[in-house]
Copies of this chain bind each other. A is one copy, B any other.
């Protein structure tokens, strides 16, 4: 097809940075140069590739090219490093874009990044999303890998099981005493305030269905931050499902009590990544698997 690699890089920068101006700054060229390259690429492909919104987005036609641009950049970077030797490679950094579910990002995932051998000069462009929605960013080419609950491989991706994140239902002692004096009864769960991250987060509802075998609709707060969520539970705003590691610490410290001892929710997590023979992607996959083995079940 003979696509111009400068045009491709420019296109990826516009989508990744969100605007023609930001892409121009990153690439150290003028905005009009960016604009001309995008127009030229769109003419070659015969499709509109960038939706000129705020932020700019890849069109459906653009998504295939966005992934291609990321893959070419990764392979080019590795070929150059191999050709020039590891010392010269230090100046060029490759962008490694990964989407991670909120609870993994707040607990075990970051340690994996620091385990990457130092010869890989990369910058991480992490995204956070609900574990049931992470695959969309893989599909549209914005990220090269995902920590996700979705085990059906996205086209062109490989899936590996990481283990399960276990959640326990906990609440502040004050809230538990007030709303659950007789333990985890259905009537108590129907009336006690509950916390979820946001509308996409259905963990609490799934746990409720399983424990009470009823479809309950309790008062619901949204606290859209993994850390804020845990803090809100500790402060007694409502009960919620907290990753086991944090929950056990909080229970031991007396900050929280378990609402339904012996009951839990396990969420299997997967590592989906581009099917690409890349040293960086392979090393990252190894580091993520190692970190997951010690943190997940």
Name A's B-contacting residues (CB within 8 A): 17-18, 22, 25-26, 55, 93, 102, 105-106, 109-111, 113-114, 121, 123-128, 193, 199, 217, 219-228, 231-232, 235-237
Most chain B Cβ neighbours within 10 Å, of A127, A217, A224: A224
B106:A227 contact, CB within 8 angstroms: yes
Interface of A is mostly: mixed
Chain B residues with CB below 8 A from A224, complex form: 105, 126-128
A231:B110 contact, CB within 8 angstroms: yes
A114's contact among B102, B125, B226, B236, by CB below 8 Å, is which? B236
B125:A225 contact, CB within 8 angstroms: no
Residue of B nearest to A224 (CB): B128
Chain B residues with CB below 8 A from A17, complex form: 199
Chain B residues with CB below 8 A from A225, complex form: 102, 105-106, 128, 225-227
Q: A228-B105, A237-B124 are in contact. Are A110 and B199 (CB under 8 A)?
A: no
B232:A110 contact, CB within 8 angstroms: yes
A221's contact among B126, B221, B237, by CB below 8 Å, is which? B126
